[in-house]
């Protein structure tokens, strides 16, 4: 069965990385909650997509330059008044949930990995009993290398459309092999059966990200990818559970 990952706690249904979205996702009939992490200036780990608060909250500033309290004081746009939460709080929300973690390691505002960040994320997840339920992801091969040095948990490489286009499938597979990466995820609009066959033929797992419309979700379900992220988890569950066979596929 294709796995569903609620992207940032279901951005189009609950706002971007909101406590409400994460609490709702924890109760959904899906397999993973996707989220992104950034360090604060005082050593906390916050769950937020962007490296800054500028685009998604009522405040400004780079998370890595702010304290946990300052980040927590921001109000998330379209998020029912919710504030950014820490990774510790996210662990508490999912302690008794059947939904597992898909943790994306983000770069800082300069596009480079945060120094010595990955071991802290791994340590915090382990301390809260969630490491064994976590798959990691990153667009950055450097961050995947750092993860491999810190944990044996599964991880996947998020391959952006420009990287896929510029490298080509064979080179993407070669980079994955070189870095011991066992799974890749591509943007849903760059996925097709031929690409999936090539990736799987090389012994790698294949998934998609950013399947937000009915058409995109139907596409990944028809392809039978391993997993996909979506901003509309409720819609994805409805489409996956719908009886198949009476339509034209
Ligand atoms: Fe993400």
Calculate how far, in angstroms, residue 212's C-alpha sits from the geometric centre of ligand 1.
Answer: 14
Calculate how far, in angstroms, residue 132's C-alpha sits from the geometric centre of ligand 1.
Answer: 20
CA distance 169 to 217: 23
* pLDDT for position 22: 98
Calculate how far, in angstroms, residue 70's C-alpha sits from the geometric centre of ligand 1.
Answer: 22
Calculate how far, in angstroms, residue 248's C-alpha sits from the geometric centre of ligand 1.
Answer: 33
Calculate how far, in angstroms, residue 209's C-alpha sits from the geometric centre of ligand 1.
Answer: 9
Calculate how far, in angstroms, residue 116's C-alpha sits from the geometric centre of ligand 1.
Answer: 20
> Under CATH, domain 3-241 is a member of which superfamily?
Phosphatidylinositol (PI) phosphodiesterase (3.20.20.190)
The pTM (predicted TM-score) of the whole model is 0.96
How far, CA to CA in Å, does 6 sit from each of 12, 80, 92, 121, 193?
Answer: 10, 18, 17, 20, 23
CA angle 111, 112, 116 (to 5 degrees): 145
- Token digits for 107? 């770069």
Taking a 5 Å cut-off on Cβ, the residues next to ion ligand 1 are 36, 104
CA distance 53 to 74: 8
* pLDDT for position 63: 98
In tens, the pLDDT along 96-155 reads 999 999 999 999 999 999 999 999 999 999 999 999 999 999 999 999 999 999 999 999
CA distance 14 to 4: 17
In tens, the pLDDT along 83-95 reads 999 999 999 999 9
Average pLDDT, the chain: 97
């Amino acid at each position: 069965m294709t796995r569903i990952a609620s992207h940032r706690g279901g951005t189009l249904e609950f706002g971007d990385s909101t406590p409400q979205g994460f609490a709702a996702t924890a109760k959904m009939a899906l397999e993973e909650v996707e989220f992104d992490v950034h360090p604060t200036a005082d050593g906390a780990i916050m769950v937020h997509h962007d490296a800054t608060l500028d685009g998604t909250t009522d405040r400004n500033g780079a998370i890595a330059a702010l304290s946990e309290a300052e980040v927590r004081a921001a109000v998330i746009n379209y998020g029912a008044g919710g504030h950014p939460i820490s990774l510790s709080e996210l662990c508490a929300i999912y302690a008794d949930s059947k939904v597992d973690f898909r943790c994306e390691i983000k770069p800082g505002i300069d596009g480079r990995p945060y120094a010595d960040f990955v071991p802290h994320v791994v340590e915090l997840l382990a301390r809260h009993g969630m490491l064994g339920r976590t798959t990691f992801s990153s667009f950055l091969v450097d961050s995947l290398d750092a993860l491999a040095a810190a944990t044996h948990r599964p991880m996947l490489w998020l391959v952006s459309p420009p990287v896929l286009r510029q490298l080509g499938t064979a080179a993407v597979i070669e980079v994955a092999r070189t870095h011991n990466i066992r799974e890749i995820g591509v943007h849903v609009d760059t996925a097709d059966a031929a690409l999936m066959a090539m990736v799987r033929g090389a012994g790698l797992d294949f998934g998609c990200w950013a399947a937000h419309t009915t058409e995109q979700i139907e596409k990944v379900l028809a392809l039978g990818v391993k997993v996909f992220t979506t901003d509309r988890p409720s819609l994805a569950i409805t489409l996956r559970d719908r009886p198949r066979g009476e339509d034209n596929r």
